[in-house]
Amino acid sequence: MRTAEAVMALIMETAEADERVRAVALSGSRAAAGTSSPDLFSDFDIIYFVDNIDQMIQNRAWLKVFGEPLIVQTPDEMNLYGEPSGEESFAFLMLFRDGNRIDLTLKPADSRYLHWKQDGLTRCLLDKDNPASDFPSPTDVGYKTSMPEENFFHQCCNEFWWVAVYVVKGWQRKEMLYAQAHLHIVRLMLIQMLQWKVVLEKKIPVNFGQEAKHLEIYLEEKNIRELAATYAAGSYESIWASLQAAMAMFARESASVAGQCGFTLNEQEAAGVQRYIKEAGRVQ
């Protein structure tokens, strides 16, 4: 497997040798020096700001220099999850046979200064047209979860209790996929509440990472076990048990967050839904 240094050297050499590439930026976990620890599975999130972007998309022979890919995805050519964003950029997501992964995005050269302003977690590696530019150091401030606004807090609570009813509907009808899909949404609201719990404990904004992957670092062991109990196995009994675990945890933590923030908690809504679900559980 090529070392990180070798991969970065190849990325830079390729950019420097191609006149179409006017600037290079590194983003993601590898750009956040001091706030993350890249490992063997960390991607190289690279942006080439280029002239003639259409030419580089249409003729892809220049990509061969990076090695033999195991699999490549070009999301801007896909509509599997809806139509592409329409943004003037193009991404090549490449996993190579030696295990290295490069997510290489092409953007128009004249968009680089706006990009650096909009995405703070970006490190400028090269700017051929303005080599003396003093760009700010990357920061993950824009990726941190802060204290909740009251309106957002109430939306989170409402979404949790509203979607919990759909889990019961799928459970009662023996619709496994439907119930599991809505249990996932319920859990997302619980995870959001747990992030606020941590922020309040730490008294500072926290970067939990993509899909809240760092949340476990901040939770006590008993909370981790409680959260794990909300993941259902492939049975209706486990779906019911997971929903009960999620409701108990959410009720407790939402009350705690509301109390610390001085928010009014809609206890009537939560209690009403819990009674409804309890009664629905008796119907066989």
Regions of the chain with pLDDT less than 70: 32-37, 83-87, 116-121, 131-145, 283-284
At 109 the pLDDT is: 92
Alpha helices per DSSP H over 173-235? 176-202, 215-218, 221-228
Radius of gyration of the chain (CA): 23
- Give the containing element (helix H, strand E) for 275: helix 267-282
Can you say whether residue 243 is alpha, beta or left, with left for phi > 0 and alpha for psi between -120 and 50 degrees? Answer: alpha
Hey, is 260 helix, strand or coil?
helix
At 137 the pLDDT is: 65
Locate 221 and state its tokens.
């062991």
Beta bridge partners of 33: 36
What distances in angstroms separate CA 2 from CA 44, 62, 99, 124, 161, one per listed residue? 13, 19, 8, 23, 49
At 63 the pLDDT is: 97
> Listing from the earlier edge strand, what are the strands of the sheet with 69-73?
69-73, 90-96, 101-108, 44-50, 21-27, 122-127
At 114 the pLDDT is: 78
Nearest Cα residue to 119 out of 31, 48, 39, 53: 31
Residue 175 neighbours by CB distance under 10 Å: 14
Beta bridge partners of 107: 49
At 144 the pLDDT is: 63
- Look at the pTM and tell me if it is higher than 0.85: no
Q: Are 253 and 246 in contact (CB under 8 A)?
A: no
Angle between helices 150-172 and 176-202 (to 10 degrees): 150
Amino acid in the structure at residue 149: E
At 145 the pLDDT is: 67
Q: Which domains are assigned to the chain?
A: 4-142 (3.30.460.10), 144-282 (1.20.120.330)
What distances in angstroms separate CA 239 from CA 111, 179, 193, 246, one per listed residue? 48, 8, 21, 10
Locate 99 and state its tokens.
């295990």
**Cα separation of 228 and 15, whole Å?**
45
**Cα separation of 207 and 138, whole Å?**
14
Hey, is 33 helix, strand or coil?
strand
What is residue 274's DSSP assignment?
Answer: H
At 247 the pLDDT is: 97
At 207 the pLDDT is: 82
At 115 the pLDDT is: 72
**Cα separation of 107 and 105, whole Å?**
7
Residue owning tokens 């950019």 = 15
Can you say whether residue 3 is alpha, beta or left, with left for phi > 0 and alpha for psi between -120 and 50 degrees? Answer: beta
